[in-house]
Amino acid sequence: MREMNLNEFLEQLASAAPVPGGGGASALAGALGVALGNMVGSLTVGKKKYAAVEDEIRELNGKAAVLREELLSLVEKDAEVFEPLSKAYGIPKDDPGREEVMATVLKAAAEVPLAIMKKCCEALDLIAVYAEKGSVLAVSDAGCAASLCRAAMESAALNVYINTKSMADRQLAESLNGEVCTMLQEYGHKADAIYQSVSGRLH
């Protein structure tokens, strides 16, 4: 998938083109969330009121910048793994090599949204600190960041499930589904806690 500006990406997403799709959109939402958290940090450093946490916030900002780039790279990666999957579905069911090909491409297609989920969990860990220690003037942005990363995580989960559903190797499928369930439960609670904390401070 060629590099696109945001408007081009959205036009392509809205079209009948096979990519980008739900996985790429999830990764982009996660990148937006972590960038928004990073903004809270950027508005915190250099302020006398937050001198005691400045070193910690600077460290978080460095981690957030890396996460943002990793999530953006997963937009591209999701598109890359979809093409061989779409081709594999076209292999005749009586082809003796079909099962092996399907196993390979389904695993690859599930691993990318799983990676997106993991990056969103890392982002939520950072955002929790931004919400707690960052500038109060930007606390609403920390809540927005948490909401975006939660949505990205939940969206990516569906993209894991649609691939594990078709796997012949049910042991692998259930293992991947278990990872998804654990992240949704733990980090869904974390995102809720951040959102409720921010909301409670605003009214």
Task: Enter the tokens of residue 25.
Answer: 């959109």
Cβ neighbours around 202 below 10 Å, total = 8
Are 117 and 153 within 8 A, CB to CB?
yes
- How big is the CA angle at 116 (ends 164 and 153), to the nearest 5 degrees? 85
Q: For residue 1, what pLDDT is reported?
A: 53
Q: Encode the chain (203 residues) as per-residue pLDDT tens digits.
A: 567 899 999 999 999 988 999 999 999 999 999 999 999 999 999 999 999 999 999 999 999 999 999 999 999 999 999 989 989 999 998 999 999 999 999 999 999 999 999 999 999 999 999 999 999 999 999 999 999 999 999 999 999 999 999 999 999 999 999 999 999 999 999 999 999 999 999 98
DSSP 22-81: HHHHHHHHHHHHHHHHHHHHHTTTT-GGGGGGHHHHHHHHHHHHHHHHHHHHHHHHHHHH
- Sign of the C-alpha dihedral computed for residues 129, 130, 134 and 137 taken in this order: negative
Are 193 and 127 within 8 A, CB to CB?
no
Are 50 and 44 within 8 A, CB to CB?
yes
Which pTM was predicted? Answer: 0.95
Q: What are phi and psi of 2, to 5 degrees?
A: -70, 160
Q: For residue 2, what pLDDT is reported?
A: 61
Query: Cα Rg for the chain, rounded, in angstroms?
Result: 19
